[in-house]
Amino acid sequence: MTFDVAIIGGGFAGLTAANHAALGGLRPLVFEAGDDDLYMCNSRVATGALHVAFHGPEESAEDLYTAILDVTDGTAREDLARAVADNAQATIDWMREEGGEFLQHPRRSWGMPMMAPGRAMRAGLDWENSGPNLFLQMLGEKLAARGGELRRGVRVGSLVVEGGVVTGVALESGERIAAKAVVIADGGFQADRELIREHITVDPQKIRQRNTETGRGEGLRMAADIGAALVGLDKFYGHVLSRDALTNENLWPYPQLDVICAKGMVVTRDGGRFCDEGLGGIYVTNAIAGLADPLSATAVFDSSVWEDAKENDIVPPNPSLVENGGTVLQADTLAALAAKAGLDAGGLAATVEDFNGMVRAGSAPALSPPRTTKVYPAHMFEKAPFYAIPLCAGITVTSGGIAVDGRARVLDRTGAPIPGLYAAGSVVGGLEGGPKAGYVGGLIKAFGIGRIAGREMAEQIAGSAAGTV
């Protein structure tokens, strides 16, 4: 059998690219390292929230483009941001045509669509009967029906390059597969401790892998080996977790503690703040991972925040955190709380006094570090009892990766496309990150850029065969 395109990775990005290539008349071959029928990957266990920088994918393309640039402080590559925004509506339309169903997110009032059926919204990992798992299976079945193939239990070792053009892949077994185009879609590098230590945290063992640990950066390394540019490797998407999640399987990926941190404060052992909690959980998670000791952060808050935590997140940490064995410290005074949490009592008292004074004066942004109030208003610490939760950073997927343009073509270090090579999904860099760790959305990167890659390959290869390219 001969194949037109080789695709590395059988998650949403790879199978979306493959199906669109097949719809365009090509014969795709997908290589997936997992060998089980229900092979593990981040796509299969995703919560299923489909958004573009926390905006509904059916909003206007111009609004989505603006949202991407805003959340990344203008660091997103403009042609890639434009392509994702312009294709968002068509992407969700295609998902519906393929049989995907959606429901409204039960705890997001602004209309974020969730792949249906939704997860149980409980602590721990839950995926078997979820929309993402069922849709991934459906995409595999559709691919086979369209003449493509998914080979499981196969690892790609390197890209084959002839005369500066990518012409196929070499498998770890030694076999070579010729192809007119190759797509790298094997996810981020979050599970590779060497790369994580180099780019994200001094001690990878002190952050929680909030993922299936299948994203090992193999495709990223293959691309770099042939001269591809890599961008934005220092940021990741993740959530703040209880430190107990490092050893308690019931405490990841939920409950997350993002909103507690945003409505309270996060301190180190000296009792001092170190980041702007008002920027939200993804930013705070990155800040925790970047500490000299990633296990030195503690959330501190009062009873009003703890009561609010019964309603304010996807899986409310009150009471699910306690019910599943997570540590929640409580005391009637800040001094007693500091003693229980191993914090400097004087430092914590001074931090809270300064915080309360600034909030009382209506100038929380003047704190040092600043405290943004645009999304999460700053609240005074005034209602006992007071609480503390030891924290850790939970990494779901890296934000940076291989540089691509708005046509999903991989770029070399001079900014020129590498002929025959594409990338899609979480392996793509240049769309997310920036100084505030802006998150555009893992599913839109997978489905949206996968769709772009598949259609681009079909157009280019069909055009070349017709003598028009």
pLDDT at 107 over 90: no
The model's pLDDT over 26-56, given as tens digits with 9 standing for 90+, comes to 999 999 999 999 999 999 999 999 999 999 9
Contact of 123 with 250, CB cutoff 8 Å: yes
For position 120, what pLDDT does the model report?
80
pLDDT score at 129: 92
**Segment 302-356, tens digit of pLDDT:** 999 999 999 877 899 999 999 999 999 999 999 999 999 999 999 999 999 999 9
Q: What is the mean pLDDT of residues 410-430?
A: 98
Which tens digits make up the pLDDT trace of 147-201?
A: 999 999 999 999 999 999 999 999 999 999 999 999 999 999 999 999 999 999 9
Is residue 369's pLDDT more than 60?
yes
All domains in the chain, ordered by first residue: 5-234+399-465 (3.50.50.60), 239-395 (3.90.700.10)
- Banded pLDDT at 269 (limits 50, 70, 90): very high
Neighbours of 138 (CB within 10 A): 15
pLDDT band at 464 (very low <50, low <70, confident <90, very high): low
Q: pLDDT value at position 316?
A: 93
Residues above pLDDT 70, as percent of the chain: 97
Residue 311 is predicted with a pLDDT of 83
- Average pLDDT value for the chain: 95
% of residues, the chain, pLDDT over 90: 93
Instruction: Tabulate helix, strand, coil % of the chain (nearest 5).
Output: 35, 20, 40
Phi, psi values for residue 217, rounded to 5°: 75, 20
Of residues 419, 425, 446, 447, the one with CA closest to residue 179: 419
**Tens-place pLDDT, residues 239-265:** 999 999 999 999 999 999 999 999 999
Please give the pLDDT value at position 119.
82
Please state, in angstroms and rounded to a whole number, the distance separating the CA atoms of residues 92 and 216: 28
CA separation for the pair 439, 54 (Å, rounded): 8
The helices-and-strands tally (H runs, E runs) of the chain is 15, 20
* Location of structure tokens 């691509």: 404
Tell me which residue of 267, 326, 282, 275 sits closest to 124, measured CA to CA.
326
Read off the pTM: 0.96
Confidence of residue 110 (pLDDT cuts 50, 70, 90): low
